[in-house]
Structure 1
Amino acid sequence: MEKKAISVHTKYTLGGILFGLSFPIFSQFIDCLLNDLDFNWASIIIIHQRNVIHYVVDTAPIVLGAAGFLLGLTHQKKNDSNRQLRIINKSLDTLTYKITHDLRGPALNIKALTEILSTSNATLSDTKKEELIDKINESVASWLLTFEDFMSLLRHEKSGALEQKKCSLQDTVSDLIQVLDYDIQESGAKIKTDFTKGPFVFVSEIYLNSILKNLITNAIKYRHAEREPEINISSFDDDGMVKIIFSDNGSGIDLDKYGDKLFTLFERFGEKPEIQGSGIGLYLVKDQIEKNNGSIMAQSKPGEGTIFTIHLPITS
């Protein structure tokens, strides 16, 4: 967005300079006529030697145009910084509320369960103790998962613009398959890829990793109860962009019900409350894609899986 804003300012500033230059050129032409001289460089030099005020008149549009460009650029950067700060502040306000809600709940559960375990230890059966310990472990796991999601969001908001470069989709997915090996093996997930028609994208490597990791983990987490998860990822050259098709056969999303909130921060759309999550993943996916000058859209039906269509630049 910043590059686009700068290019617009540059275009209009250069236009202003060129427009301003037309006045001294016109004045040179008139001066040549009044002094009975041909309109050429030799005549212009003669006129400047006769009257040095022409130097001021001729250079003023360039100086003023350059000064205007620098002022406009500084103003644009200030506006971009203020806008980013407003976005971060809004996210932090929401984050503060969610911390008090999502982190406080598991902490209170742990506190209550440990109190029961400590005060009633002598009268509890071994089976009851095991149940309490299991519930404590579940609350701790929930707390840690929520904490990691929040830390991921904070790192994302703090990172700002990251260096973009040519990235291999196949290498990124291959690395993620190794990182997510346990989840993939435990769920029986099958991941198929075909990047032959669009192997590279020009993006932030860190963001690309995060985008695909969130989509893969979501596909595994929200898999259909009656079938093993299948994930297909392919890419195509699409009019100067790379179109990435990410599809799964999971539980799907009711877009009629949730479509307008699909990529909203802290929104969840699964019908299974036992599946843990904070609703940060898809928000990060969309935000990271857009920060890399791309776009994302979703197609989904409950019980039939989800298809994400992503466009990312192929060059800078």
Structure 2
Amino acid sequence: MDINKEFELYQFEKLNQTLFLNHPDAIFLLDLEGKFMMVNEEVCRITGYDREELIGQSFEPLIEESMKAFTQERFQDSKEDKPQRYETSIVTENGIKYLDVTNFPLKNDTRILAIFGIAKDITEKKQKEIELEKYTALLKEHNDELEIFRKILAHDMRKPVANALGFARLLQGNLPESKEKQVKRYLLHTVESVDVMLRDLNELIALQSTGKESKEEVDVNKTIKRIVNFFQEEIRQANASVDLEIADNLQIHTIKAYFNSIIRNLISNALKYRSLDRPTMLSVKAFLHDAVITIIVKDNGIGMDLTNIGKELFQMHRRFAPKVAEGNGLGLYIVNQQIRLMGGHISVESEVDKGTIFTITLPTH
């Protein structure tokens, strides 16, 4: 080889070495077992290891546990002469870092000698994506809550407003004095109940819009008794007996409007879907166990065939006994969504012509 060719080859090798060592991205060379053969300074900066610590060591211990299998598969594909580009993450002293990696085989005419790699640090970009995903999820949750507020207004408010209209029409007629006093009392109680619902919802919406904490202490015993009292006229008309078994001093730190709406819906359903073939019996139990409050609402009404309707029970606009009572199929959907947003769970047991049991579990905080 003449001296000019040797000089050109020397310059080419020096240029490659300079590019390798000073490239702004992480450049590395892996043997076929996945051990580092060469690394530049950017590899050292990203991983937090010196070149001497990396050379001869496998890349696998650097990879975050959840990404190991995926990253190993990409390395194996590279060994099979299939260039790869993918995202992975590594664990460093400064926390998790995210990388955009390109791997391709380095080979001669007959075989693959090593795997060449380029990795770009995309941690800042990935963290912004994660924050955006969290923000999107939070926004969806708030939108879900606002949608539930709307449904509460549309669904829960129908009954008391209809009652108030009915009482007002009665007062327009000629009623005996004793009957008139009774109707006025019912009307006042209904309007007060509407006022409580509106106040709860307005306060909750205002707190949500300002980002303040929307939860408060709720006395379970007093709240359930107040809601049962709200249905006294329906209970009287149904000649129903109501058994309350609620632990004293039972408190829950939760969304008050949701809690009220859940109990109202379940009691309303128990009275609406009662059986006309037997005296109506309704029981509400509430107790605390291991920081979880369990509420059981049981009736002996017409029941449901859960085998056929179980999967649709909590879906929107599903009505299962339209001939028995009016409704728009939102009640149980609203209840389920409220319980979900409160971090709780609801289960149902029911048998046709035997009755239904709703069991709700809610965290005390």
Normalised by the size of structure 2, how large is the TM-score? 0.47
Is 1:275 aligned to residue 312 of structure 2? no
AA paired with 2:357?
I
Looking at both structures, which has the greater relative contact order when contacts are Cα pairs under 8 Å and sequence separation is at least 6? 1
Report the structure, 1 or 2, having the larger helix content.
Answer: 1
Is 1:242 aligned to residue 293 of structure 2? yes
Shift of 1:228: 2.5
AA paired with 1:302?
V
Q: Is the 8 A contact 1:198 1:242 kept in 2?
A: no
Partner-residue secondary structure (3-state), 2:334:
helix
Match of 1:294 in 2: 344
Is 1:188 aligned to residue 211 of structure 2? no
Partner-residue secondary structure (3-state), 1:275:
coil
Relative to 1, partners in 2 of residues 1:304 and 1:204: Cα closer, same or farther, differing over 3 Å? same
What is the number of residues matched between the two proteins?
205
**CA-atom RMSD, angstroms?**
4.3
Q: Is the 8 A contact 1:198 1:235 kept in 2?
A: no
Question: In structure 2, what is the Cα distance between the partners aligned to 1:214 and 1:312?
Answer: 17
Is 1:80 aligned to residue 138 of structure 2? yes
Match of 1:216 in 2: 267
Normalised by the size of structure 1, how large is the TM-score? 0.53
Question: In structure 1, what is the Cα distance between the partners aligned to 2:141 and 2:257?
Answer: 23
Relative to 1, partners in 2 of residues 1:262 and 1:288: Cα closer, same or farther, differing over 3 Å? same
Is 1:176 aligned to residue 176 of structure 2? no
Relative to 1, partners in 2 of residues 1:234 and 1:79: Cα closer, same or farther, differing over 3 Å? closer
Question: In structure 2, what is the Cα distance between the partners aligned to 1:189 and 1:86?
Answer: 36
Match of 1:229 in 2: 280
Question: In structure 1, what is the Cα distance between the partners aligned to 2:280 and 2:230?
Answer: 18
- Of all paired residues, the percent bearing the same amino acid is 26
Match of 1:111 in 2: none
AA paired with 2:251?
F
Q: Is the 8 A contact 2:221 2:249 kept in 1?
A: no
AA paired with 1:76?
K
Relative to 1, partners in 2 of residues 1:244 and 1:87: Cα closer, same or farther, differing over 3 Å? closer
Residue deviations 1:208-247, cap 9 Å, x none?
A: 1100000000000000111232111112323321111111
Q: Is the 8 A contact 2:297 2:359 kept in 1?
A: yes
Match of 1:112 in 2: none
Is 1:284 aligned to residue 342 of structure 2? no
Q: Is the 8 A contact 1:198 1:237 kept in 2?
A: no
Match of 1:54 in 2: none
Residue deviations 1:251-309, cap 9 Å, x none?
A: 10110111111111110112x51521111111111111111000000000001110011
Partner-residue secondary structure (3-state), 2:270:
helix
Larger radius of gyration: 2
Relative to 1, partners in 2 of residues 1:75 and 1:256: Cα closer, same or farther, differing over 3 Å? closer
Question: In structure 2, what is the Cα distance between the partners aligned to 1:166 and 1:82?
Answer: 26
